[in-house]
Chain A
Amino acid sequence: MVTTAAIIFVLLSESIFGLGDSVAFFQEVSLWHFLTDTKWAPQYGEGEFGILPLLVGTMWVTGIAALIGIPFGLATAVYLSEYASPRTRRIIKPLLEILAGIPTVVYGYFALVFITPLVIEPVAGFFGIPVDTFNAVSAGLVVGIMIIPMVSSLSEDVLRAVPRGLREAGYALGATRFDVSVKVVVPAALSGILASFLLAISRALGETMAVNIAGGIRPTLTANPFEQICTMTSNIVAMAGSDAPAGSVQYQSIYAVALSLFAITFAMNVLSQFILNKYREVYQ
């Protein structure tokens, strides 16, 4: 049917066109330079097109987001599936869904206007670290909060699917709730939980607006998370909205970055499907 053809077409044409137009890009800038140069400044003179600053920016934001989103999300999932009463669950789940439904620009605004001045600056000031208005920590923090509902609802589904028999066997042997949750249920659901982590990370990778607003658009290659950074996604938005003429190398750089981004997220999605299928324990 037309619809299904359209879908396959979408998948393929993205790669081909990222590639087709990027070939024009890659003719001007060698692949090696693209991957290893350390400055990304397309607008200055000849233009330097190393993707490393963008990659590092993306890694900072995604890393911090994962550090926050995964533990909180998993703990929430464990609480909802093992400890909470049905009534509590009925209240908390819709609230988490609301958290997931807030548009990302709102999170970006929140990060810029509330989190950076009120949370980060006092803490960093306490330690004597200077903080930019746009920094990686606030972007990562906010993206982490954004993926908490995702991790928690996916993990909770998997945890609930573990049959009660396993838990009851654990209790019968004299284990506490903690023992059963951590040593029986979570390992049983591990494949699904890992898959949910990967999906959440790939969501964090692709997050654009919140990072743009909170993290800034100046690509810097830095080990300091309190500085301004630019991720791959931010860069695409910035370039698309700028005045670079279509067909120029600067414009084509959008496609190159998009292709890299797509490759990474696609690989993670495929990996998560693979893990889900390979390590799933089937119960009757």
Chain B
Amino acid sequence: MSRVLSLDFLGQAVRVALPYMGAAMGGVLSERAGIVNVALEGTMLVAALAAAWGALSTGSVVVALLSAALAGALVQLVHGTAVVHGKADPIVSGLAINLLALAGTRFLLRALYASSSNSPTIPGQSSSLLRDPASWVVVAVVVATTWTMTRSRFGLRIRAVGEHPEAAASVGVSVPRTQLLAVAAAGVAAGLAGAWLALDQRQFSSKMSGGRGYIALAILVLSGHRPGRAAGIALAFGAAEALELVVQETAKVPHQLVQTLPYVVTLAALVVFGARRRTTAHG
């Protein structure tokens, strides 16, 4: 029990939650603009490779973060263009991007570093959570997204375009332009989350996003597309996963049972929040 009420435990929960948070912020920016975004997973993966490439070729964390943000924005712009201008089904486009990202990163990895599974190690060593600049960048993404959505003119336009595109257009807001800017911002957010993964490991490895972009989608649904709530739920998911590890390590219960904990929490949250949302919708 003392293990769970410690500062270390909180740190662990934050560690697990950071990539979820960044990706979920990307989801908020894009979905509030009316673009359904299942491409977060692929965006993170491509950006993680870009970060590793940036760090390996220049040795600079800043370059790594910038490459990841740029790569993320580009991937999301492909998605945005297909949906906004090509009128493509966003689910199909998103899944295609995830597939392309999975195979494409392996292809590029092979071309750059002669292995389709692992990049070389980035020299130097990773710093602890609080001293890692990438962690603070992800926290900044959460703050910036919350501010943008609630306080800024750009956020207001995103919401208007997402909720009622005709109304937004009637007052002179360009719907396609706003949507493309929103997905580009989403790409930056999810891309920085991907960069965190690569910089934390000092390496890129194939599939390192490990489904975190999909978990971010679940968080997004639970949060009702609100950035502050999404960050809170991401933290709760992080705590559930950290708890799973502590219980598995110390308790005598079968570990197969304990490993289901994060999924049970997700399911329970979906049921509780889902039920509540339905009642408020009717009331």
Do A and B pair up? The answer is no
